[in-house]
Amino acid sequence: MHWPVEAATEVLPLPEVNQRRLAQDLRMLAHIGASPGGGINRLAFTAEEREAHSYVAARMREAGLTVRGDAIGNTFGCRPGGREGLPAIVLGSHLDSIYEGGQFDGTVGVVGALEAVRALNEQNIATLHPIIAVAFAAEEGARFGASNLGSRALVGDLPQEELRRLHDGNGTSVAVAIQQLGFPLKEIPTCRWDSRQVGAFVELHIEQSAGLETLRKPVGIVDAIGAATRLRINLIGRPDHSGATSMSLRRDALAAAAEIVLNVERIARETAGRNTVATVGKLNVKPGVITVVPGEVEMDIDIRDIDADMKDIATSAMEAMVHEVARRRGIQERIELLTHQLPSTLAMWTREAIRGVCQEMGVDYRVLPSGAGHDARVMADLAPAAMILVRNKSGISHSPAEWVEMSDIVLGVQVLTNTVLKLDDALAQRRGEGKHP
């Protein structure tokens, strides 16, 4: 898409991101759910996650936004637009974390959305379209094995059956966890938005690998977002005396699991596509006693790709492999599909809006795919979506070692803020209204 020259030369008051305010919000949120080891523990549907939402809701109110929540625990702050009835520009990310996660994952996008609105307010910059800053609930799959529960409720893709079926390590289902926090389970269908309510969605997020750091570029524009297929494998062997049972008579569930783990790695490397990754990140062994041959293993496999076909090929190969290993070792196996998401290609015109902003600001950027899943992938079902990535100095994520420089965060939030104005114009132009005054 070609941007009119006026877009670059027009003199407007510029919204300016406030670094001190941003840093203060990030610092405050880094205390919520912090463990002595420095990790963040704000798991989906916990008191710590809710505390972070309360903090953000309070900052939204201070910024003059109309705040509301929904039945799954998403928090929204709305700034009205200049004209009634127009779709909103929605900005945001998530506030939950994995076990011992980092302080920037998700949080930067929520605080960034808030700061974008504050920067517009300070310069009295009105937009034609309303702006909604959002903090999604339960993006991470760490607790229940399924991701993006908050944004999935918004697009109407969260069946009650799944909420009752998925459970955490203590046997608590999503449905019970939601109700324990006082959210009305049966009202979750009311979380659904009409696609006509949203003109565009933008998520600012830290990069979760070292791509931008290696390229020495501070900002990334995402063209495609990978998605996960997750399998839960139950292996039932026979628990037996570790001294009295000869090697030939054993049905060792853990030895079978070990073979499966290595084969998962091999298939991801050899059988599937260039971007396929697969991980066994969780393995429970029973009875877990040094003197007993392991009788039972539960293990979860996470398979991801930005190419849906390649992900399916890898998944089928892994299922066949599990059956083969189990049969050969005399182990009973059960394979449960925990989650199956589709990768998403993001809208070209929203990507071009961010590219235009980067060029105007003189920001060095790279267009790249995101192997990590995000709420933007889900929101792309509802509206044209876009993602701005911020360089991750550490190259590490889902770890307390995750680190992003404040100067890069400020730059990312500034790109986000200017993108809002660009999208405000682009949405009007797409309706054939031309550039608004």
Whole-number minimum distance, CB 339 to Zn ion, in Å? 16
Residue 300 C-beta: closest distance to Zn ion, Å? 19
Are the beta carbons of 375 and 148 closer than 8 angstroms? yes
Number of residues that bind Zn ion (CB under 5 A): 2
Q: Which is nearer to Zn ion, 105 or 162 (CB)?
A: 105
The smaller minimum CB distance to Zn ion, of residues 49 and 105, is found at: 105
**Cβ proximity to Zn ion, 25 vs 105, nearer residue:** 105
| b/e sequence 223-253, b meaning 16+ C-beta within 10 Å | bbbbbbbbbbbbbbbbbbeeeebeeeebbbb
Q: Shortest Cβ distance from residue 29 to Zn ion (Å)?
A: 13
What's the closest the beta carbon of residue 96 comes to Zn ion, in angstroms?
9
Per the CB < 8 A criterion, the answer to whether 82 and 126 are in contact is: yes
Closer to Zn ion at the Cβ: 257 or 277? 277
Residue 371 in the binding site for Zn ion (CB under 5 A): no
Nearer to Zn ion, 228 or 297 (CB): 228
**Smallest distance, Å, CB 139 to Zn ion?**
6
Q: Which is nearer to Zn ion, 135 or 338 (CB)?
A: 135
Q: How far is the CB of 331 from Zn ion (least distance, A)?
A: 36
Report, in Å, the least distance between residue 245 CB and Zn ion: 46
Which of residues 106 and 218 has its CB atom nearest to Zn ion in the complex?
Answer: 106
Write b or e for each residue in 16-39: b if 16 or more Cβ atoms lie within 10 A of its Cβ, otherwise e. ebeeeebeebbeebeebbbeeeeb
* Least distance from Zn ion to the Cβ atom of residue 44, Å: 12
Q: How far is the CB of 94 from Zn ion (least distance, A)?
A: 6
Output the 3-class SS for the chain.
CCCCHHHHHCCCCCCCCCHHHHHHHHHHHHHCCECCCCCECCCCCCHHHHHHHHHHHHHHHHCCCEEEECCCCCEEEEECCCCCCCCEEEEEEECCCCCCECCCCCHHHHHHHHHHHHHHHHCCCCCCCCEEEEEECCCCCCCCCCCCHHHHHHCCCCCHHHHHHCECCCCCEHHHHHHHCCCCHHHHHHHCCCHHHEEEEEEEEECCCCHHHHHCCCEEEEEEECEEEEEEEEEECECEECCCCCHHHCECHHHHHHHHHHHHHHHHHHCCCCCCEEEEEEEEEECCCCCEECCEEEEEEEEEECCHHHHHHHHHHHHHHHHHHHHHHCCEEEEEEEEECCCEECCHHHHHHHHHHHHHHCCCEEEEEECCCCHHHHHCCCCCEEEEEECCCCCCCCCCCCCCCHHHHHHHHHHHHHHHHHHHHHHHHHCCCCCCC
Nearer to Zn ion, 153 or 236 (CB): 153
By beta-carbon proximity to Zn ion, the closer residue of 17 and 372 is: 372
Q: Which is nearer to Zn ion, 105 or 298 (CB)?
A: 105
Closest approach of Zn ion to the CB of residue 276, in Å: 21
What count of other Cβ atoms lies within 10 Å of the Cβ of residue 434? 10
Q: Sort strands 227-236 and 296-305 into parallel, antiparallel or unpaired.
A: antiparallel
- Minimal distance in Å, beta carbon 20 to Zn ion? 24
Please, which residue, 205 or 422, has the CB nearer to Zn ion? Answer: 205
> What does the alpha-carbon distance between residue 276 and residue 270 come to, in Å, rounded to a whole number?
10
Which residue of the chain is nearest Zn ion when measured via CB?
106
Which 91-120 residues touch Zn ion, going by CB under 5 A?
A: 105-106
Under the rule (CB under 5 A), what is the footprint of Zn ion? 105-106
